[in-house]
């Protein structure tokens, strides 16, 4: 029976960096950010509801302008709450479907990479929780650099999620991604070897 690993952590701490490595090692990865993109493609029911709720301002024709929606919800907690109410049920259904499908295969490890795994209570879908961390200063710097955000915008995004401390308290495994990527890979390999997963 495959182990389902829930991979999470606060924004820009390095989940994708770890999930990319697990993918390179050959493990199947379900990426909640990709699931979230799929359900807001043109013509999807959730896309229509986003238009009804937030108006045409967040669209270019049929296509959702993610940058505009991001700017709106990460600076207004009520809007973010509405967005979560709209999107999370459909995201959960798709994630559950993908886990069920992968469990029918022969993989010994299935990875669920989900930034809001703990906030949204996905613990019941996974067997182990891996939290990726880095110091707040490193996290902010990487976030600003990657997404071209101001200091204020980056801080607002960090504050829209649970604190790193709270996530670490709920973790089975903590991966410190504050140093080099090679050092992070070493920690992942150590865990895989301990669990005899490779
Ligand atoms: C607001 C949106 C349009 C911004 O899109 P954008 O392309 O700029 O960012 P992207 O989707 O790559 O997300 C980047 C990071 O933002 C953080 N984030 C995304 N959604 C949320 C949210 N609802 N609450 C808190 N943090 C979030 C995550 O750490 C995520 O990895 C997009 O993030 C979105 O649709 N969010 C809602 C869907 C969701 O809840 N996704 C998380 C799945 S568990
Ligand atoms: N150890 C590292 N050293 C230097 N840069 C890194 C390291 N790990 C990640 N980065 C960079 O930091 C940024 C954030 O990393 P990544 O995208 O993996 O985070 P994430 O947790 O998946 O973010 P999100 O929650 O937004 O999806 C990226 O630009 C990535 O290239």
Closest ligand 1 atom to residue 160 Cα is 25
**Is the Cβ–Cβ distance between 80 and 73 less than 8 Å?**
yes
Which residues sit with their C-beta closer than 6 Å to ligand 1?
A: 11, 32-33, 36, 66-67, 69-70, 73, 80, 83-84, 87, 91, 114-116, 160-161
Q: What is the pTM of this model?
A: 0.97
Tokens representing residue 64 in the block: 């959702």
pLDDT at 1: 84
* CA–CA gap between residue 5 and residue 111 (Å, rounded): 5
Of 121, 124, 158, nearest to 141 (Cα)? 158
Full pLDDT tens readout for the chain, 198 residues: 899 999 999 999 999 999 999 999 999 999 999 999 999 999 999 999 999 999 999 999 999 999 999 999 999 999 999 999 999 999 999 999 999 999 999 999 999 999 999 999 999 999 999 999 999 999 999 999 999 999 999 999 999 999 999 999 999 999 999 999 999 999 999 999 999 999
Give the ligand with the smallest distance to the CA of 54: 1
State the pLDDT at residue 126.
98
ipTM of the complex: 0.97
Cα–Cα distances (Å) from 156 to 72, 77, 153, 172, in that order, read: 11, 10, 5, 28
């Amino acid at each position: 029976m495959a182990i389902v690993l829930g991979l999470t952590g606060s924004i820009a701490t390095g989940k994708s960096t770890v999930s990319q490595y697990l993918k390179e090692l050959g493990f199947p990865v379900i990426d909640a950010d990709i699931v979230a993109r799929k359900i807001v493609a043109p013509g999807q029911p959730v896309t229509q509801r986003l238009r009804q709720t937030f108006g045409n301002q967040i669209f270019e024709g049929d296509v959702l302008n993610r940058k505009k929606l991001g700017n709106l919800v990460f600076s207004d907690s009520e809007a973010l709450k509405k967005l979560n109410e709209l999107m999370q049920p459909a995201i959960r259904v798709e994630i559950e479907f993908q886990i069920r499908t992968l469990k029918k295969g022969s993989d010994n490890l299935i990875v669920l990479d989900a930034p809001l795994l703990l906030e949204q209570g996905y613990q019941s879908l996974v067997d182990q929780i891996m939290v990726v961390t880095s110091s707040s200063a490193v996290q902010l710097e990487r976030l600003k650099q990657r997404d071209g955000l101001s200091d204020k915008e980056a801080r607002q995004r960090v504050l829209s999620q649970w604190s790193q401390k709270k996530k670490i308290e709920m973790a089975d495994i903590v991966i410190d991604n504050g140093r080099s990527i090679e050092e992070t890979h070493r920690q992942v390999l150590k865990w895989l070897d301990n669990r005899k997963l490779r």
